[in-house]
Structure 1
Amino acid sequence: MATIESQDMTLEKLFDEFYLIPDYQREYVWEEKEVNEFIQDIYEEFSEQIQNTYSEYFIGSIIVCNRGEKLYEVIDGQQRMTTAYLVLCAIRDYLLSINPNERIEALKNKIAALYTDNWGNDQFRHRVELQYEESRGILENIALQVDLDQISPTRSVKNIQNAYAEIRDFLSDKFELDKFTIYNLKKFYAYFLKNVKLIRVKTASVAHALKIYSTLNHRGLPLDDMDLLKNLIFAKAKQTNYDKIKVKWKKILDLLYNSQEKPMRFLRYFILAKYAEDGNYIAEKEVYDWFLQNESLCGYKTEPIRFVNNLLASAQAYSEFLAGNNIDGTVNRYLVNIRNLSVNVRQHLILLLAVNKLPQDCFVDLCREVENLLFLAMLTSERNQKAFDGMILKWASELRQITSREDFDQFIANQIIPSKQRVADKFDKAFSKLNKSSFQPYQIKYILAKLTQYIDETAWGSVAGIDDLRNYILKLELEQILPENPTKEVIVDFDKPTEIGNYSKRLGNLTLLESSIKSAIANANFAEKKLGYTKSRFLLTRTIAEVVSVGENTSIDLAVQDLKTFEKWDSQAIETRQEMLIKLAKKVWDVPK
């Protein structure tokens, strides 16, 4: 008996039979772009008819396995099949909206039909049925023309609703209402059924179908999700474990989706963190082949449940790290800071995923060191991508083995500190040139927020939200002491009026200030601004205008002892304050001598 049967067929032939999308398959993920391209390409081919003859249009292949007479389980191709089914529903509904009495029984039969069960009874069934829970019956409701607003809006529900709406809009646009609308729309429907073709590959078992799916899809094609790996695991797993794997896999995808993270980037980082050795660089396009060649390392074939559990635990940790949290969900101030330093940086997550049994206090210290190193690399332009990735891989392979504070401290001494020392000599020069245009506005606020927070925390400790950098970044505004748009009076008073634009952008001319105070002093001269600064509760800003002292050797006095107060605001004052901020920054980011 043949184990593989392939058949070239039209959509008319395809929808003579019934199809199930099993619950272990991924959800419907096509969005407006993919749906529009699907129907637009078909419509363009339809529009290019020559003397009433139409060319055929090929939409690819699908893989199914037999579940009974005229009933098939879809292993690959559900996005195209579901979309084609929605096109049939949309054509039916548009025709009936124009003429409720239109005779379209054959079309309705392609959407749902009666069949005879094993007991000889007639049963009603939709041609395409989604078995995964997230669909919430949305496809059946569209087929039955039931109100769609009563369904809980999961991701699948939204995507299918949007796809149907996109197709209806497309039909309305291409077949505008006139006396020829029904005629032209029916011609398109006929073309859609009779000229749009695909290849259906039918196998004897699910496992066999999954192997074929992997073979057809991974060779030479860039991966953009984890479907190939999932199907590889299903192909190796016992069918009794499908439900367990399905539930865990959905949790993994939901975690990544809710974190707005690319699944393939996560999967690559997972490999680099857990298995890769120093120098073993792996690109995203190589991920699937890596799994094929390294089953002995990760055990997805011999122990698929354990492997999926490990992947799920890593996805949970990964989503927490992206949110600025420790694995247990508690806030990690340094991970929050990294998000405020750069919204795109991700490589450090490889290091965080690599640690398995590192004590919690060591993990927090690791995050602090990583934040400092990332800032130093960014400031001194030393973050060469390839070299940086190589360094991360080397460290990840070491961190996997570390379980004690003693070994962790040794790792910091041998790896992190020397890396910081390599850029320390460039720090002064780079920081002295910092101005408002050096980085993105949110990164300039990060720098000023870190400086301001350090002084406050030294003075008062981690109380009243001082340890949360977001209270500085989100609640304060950037203040230019020498205004960006100075009045004539301010220009005349400045000692280098021709260079006022450059000086106004220098970091030494910037500070953070409460919005209520900032709006009150606006473009005022320095004498008037000083009165506003004295009312700020942030010491780095307040000391610009007045000496702060509450006693002798108090924590507040010690915190502000190196801060300078200014009687006038000229070019020398800005340069002096920038030099002061350099010395402060070395403490803040722990720059080695």
Structure 2
Amino acid sequence: MPPGTIDANKEILQKIFSEDFWFIIPEYQRSYVWQTDNVNELAEDLFFAFENKPDSEYFLGSLVLKRLISSSFPEYEVLDGQQRLTTFFIMMAVLRDLIQNEKAKNTIHKKIYQEEDILENVPARMRITYKIRDKVEDFINNFIILRDGTTKIEELEQYRESDNLSLMNMANAIIILRDYFVEKQEHIDLQLFVKFIFNKALFIYVSTDNTEDAFRLFTILNNRGIPLTNADILKSQNIGALKNDKEVTKYARIWEEIEGKHGDDFDRFLQFIRTILVQDKARTNLLEEFNDKIYYLKSPTKSKLKLGKETFELINRYNTIYEEIIDLQNDDLSNEFKNLVTVMKIGMRSDDWIPPIMHYYAKFGLNKIDTFLKCLEYKFTGDWVCGITPTARLEAMNNILKAIDNTDASNINRLLDNKKLFKIDETDFRGYIQGNVYGKQYCRYLLLKIECLLSDNTVHLSGYKYITVEHVLPQNPKANSQWRNDFNDEERQVWTNKLANLVLISQKKNSALGNLDFEEKKSIYLKKRIDAFHANKIFIEQNKKWNPATLEKRQKELVNLLIGN
């Protein structure tokens, strides 16, 4: 086939798993991610077609392949379709180990593995070679290539608990498919089912030896199984813009490592980068935002960033920044900075504050970063508590991004002293935090910030599995309790849900603790039977009584602390 040719055809499964096709899952591909529902659905659909439409073709989905012209045999990198292809690879091993007829066993085995023949100079070769980062080769040799490997259920069960995503899902797929076909074997001859999928089930494939064309096809076509995410297509666009295979391998691995680190939050991380570059509210999905507002594919001269190497380098740089100042891996950060970032991550309902601090660090490093974070947090918290709309709060963060761009390193004070940029309505803010805060979205955050402000910053706050808000004066004290003596009904109405009466505990709320009198509660807090936060604990320890006078003094101190007076 001449170089540059795009080949498209439909092929039955036995042809796909024949001498005409040898597959490579390249480094930049995702792990094997099909889970129980995906595998069951495929098996059930196939079996329904086999029993109800045995003479009709059954469409399996599409394969997008890059033909390797350097290979001496028909070898292809799989750009799209690896999840379904891998599942059939596993399914054939399961069926081989269940069927009793030796000739049928051998036929199926040849579909997944070519035995070495020294005399005919035929090398041993797997139908699918995996170069993905999960290092699945040993697993495949032990459980798929090895005859009767799929019968080793006890060993496979252990892999179901593996931290390695591919191995966990492959082991699960073997067990699920084996259970499914063992049950079917009681009613039908599995050889007839294999005959059906070999001859009636088919893929449509598209292949080319041109990398750019291959990745362009990848963005257009989609596997029926796991839908491509915006990040998947964004990756493919940038892979396709690279100059050579060495760059593809290098940057695909970088992308995979970053994606693996962020997991389900990877699109969120890419949104941070989008926000830093565009500095405006996102109006469409992530992919369109990058294509229309960053790459300007329709008007390349306006581009803020080039596809390919430049994009990978920028994403890698901001990943490092995220690790250093959001994951707090930079050892030169102060504990004051670490504590404030920690409580913001725990208590903020929105993460729109993250792009400005990342952008600041990218431009100015650690220079006055503590001061900038305090200004940023005060603005973000003030607008949130005062009920400013999410759109207006986001616009305020984008204005800070623009101000960072317009500030040079020699004049950071001009940015930090910009009162208009960080202005909040302090009258409204004071009014809201003086009022009943229990049940408000920002209640827990205000208490976390108080903990942060009252800490001595010798260590940084982290590691809390549960953080809940507890009333000291109960919401409904018992009629015969000391609380009824210390507070009349009007005083209880005034103080029950205010900041002064609320503390944080680092475990799930304890209903049995709720109505205890102060002396009993105090004893439990101080003995660590209930892990109250440090600043709360100190205040409780220093007070013998919890009454209106105590709360009035505490309320004034906490409000002034949050206002910054």
| Aligned residue among 319, 323, 328 for 2:323 | 319
Task: Please give the residue correspondences for 1:525-540 in structure 2 after superposition, counting only pairs within 5 Å.
Answer: 525-526=517-518
SS at structure 1 position matched to 2:8: strand
Once the two structures are overlaid, the 10-residue window that deviates more, 572-581 or 204-213, is 572-581
| Residues 418-457 of structure 1: per-residue CA shift (max 9 Å, x gap) | 35534322112211223432238xx62x433432453454
Task: Extract unaligned runs of 5+ from structure 1.
Answer: 547-564
SS at structure 2 position matched to 1:134: coil
1-structure distance, mates of 2:55, 2:48:
11
Which residue of structure 2 aligns with residue 264 of structure 1?
Answer: 267
Task: Give the AA of the match of 2:447.
Answer: L
1:165 partnered with 2:156: no
Which residue of structure 2 aligns with residue 431 of structure 1?
Answer: 433
Task: Give the AA of the match of 1:192.
Answer: I
Which residue of structure 1 aligns with residue 125 of structure 2?
Answer: 125
Shift of 1:586: 1.0
1-structure distance, mates of 2:15, 2:102:
26
| Residues 441-500 of structure 1: per-residue CA shift (max 9 Å, x gap) | xx62x433432453454xxxx44x3xx2348x6799865332356342235414434885
Which residue of structure 2 aligns with residue 511 of structure 1?
Answer: 503
Shift of 1:375: 2.2
Task: Extract unaligned runs of 5+ from structure 2.
Answer: none
- In angstroms, what is the RMSD of aligned CA positions? 4.3
Query: 2:451, 2:533 within 8 Å by CA — same for their partners in 1?
Result: no
Label 1:541 to 1:190 Cα distance change in 2 as closer, same or farther (>3 A).
Answer: same
Task: Give the AA of the match of 1:43.
Answer: L
1-structure distance, mates of 2:365, 2:104:
72
1-structure distance, mates of 2:381, 2:281:
24
Calculate the TM-score normalised by the size of structure 1. Answer: 0.76
2-structure distance, mates of 1:327, 1:246:
31
Shift of 1:127: 1.3
1-structure distance, mates of 2:101, 2:332:
58
Task: Give the AA of the match of 2:179.
Answer: S
1:195 partnered with 2:186: no
2-structure distance, mates of 1:530, 1:150:
49
Shift of 1:173: 3.7
| Aligned residue among 347, 353, 363 for 2:369 | 363
Query: 1:248, 1:308 within 8 Å by CA — same for their partners in 2?
Result: yes
The structure, 1 or 2, with the larger RCO (C-alpha pairs under 8 Å, 6+ apart) is: 2
Which residue of structure 2 aligns with residue 110 of structure 1?
Answer: 111
| Aligned residue among 36, 52, 62 for 1:49 | 52
Task: Please give the residue correspondences for 1:52-201 in structure 2 after superposition, counting only pairs within 5 Å.
Answer: 53-54=55-56, 56-66=58-68, 67-93=71-97, 95=98, 99=100, 103-113=104-114, 121-137=121-137, 138-145=139-146, 157-173=164-180, 175-176=182-183, 179-180=186-187, 183=189, 185-201=190-206
| Residues 174-210 of structure 1: per-residue CA shift (max 9 Å, x gap) | 64277435x1x33333333222222111223333322
Query: 1:75, 1:206 within 8 Å by CA — same for their partners in 2?
Result: no
Label 1:260 to 1:370 Cα distance change in 2 as closer, same or farther (>3 A).
Answer: farther
| Residues 141-174 of structure 1: per-residue CA shift (max 9 Å, x gap) | 4332368789999999532442342353244146
Query: 1:57, 1:197 within 8 Å by CA — same for their partners in 2?
Result: yes
Which residue of structure 2 aligns with residue 237 of structure 1?
Answer: 242
Shift of 1:530: 7.1
Label 1:403 to 1:83 Cα distance change in 2 as closer, same or farther (>3 A).
Answer: farther
Count of aligned pairs between the two proteins? 537
SS at structure 2 position matched to 1:57: strand
1:6 partnered with 2:8: yes
Label 1:47 to 1:574 Cα distance change in 2 as closer, same or farther (>3 A).
Answer: farther
SS at structure 1 position matched to 2:364: coil
2-structure distance, mates of 1:188, 1:574:
76
Label 1:209 to 1:494 Cα distance change in 2 as closer, same or farther (>3 A).
Answer: same
Calculate the TM-score normalised by the size of structure 2. Answer: 0.79
Label 1:216 to 1:391 Cα distance change in 2 as closer, same or farther (>3 A).
Answer: farther
Label 1:192 to 1:424 Cα distance change in 2 as closer, same or farther (>3 A).
Answer: farther
Shift of 1:306: 4.5
Query: 1:277, 1:397 within 8 Å by CA — same for their partners in 2?
Result: yes
Label 1:502 to 1:102 Cα distance change in 2 as closer, same or farther (>3 A).
Answer: farther
Query: 1:134, 1:155 within 8 Å by CA — same for their partners in 2?
Result: no
1-structure distance, mates of 2:467, 2:206:
61
Which residue of structure 1 aligns with residue 558 of structure 2?
Answer: 581
Query: 1:64, 1:202 within 8 Å by CA — same for their partners in 2?
Result: yes
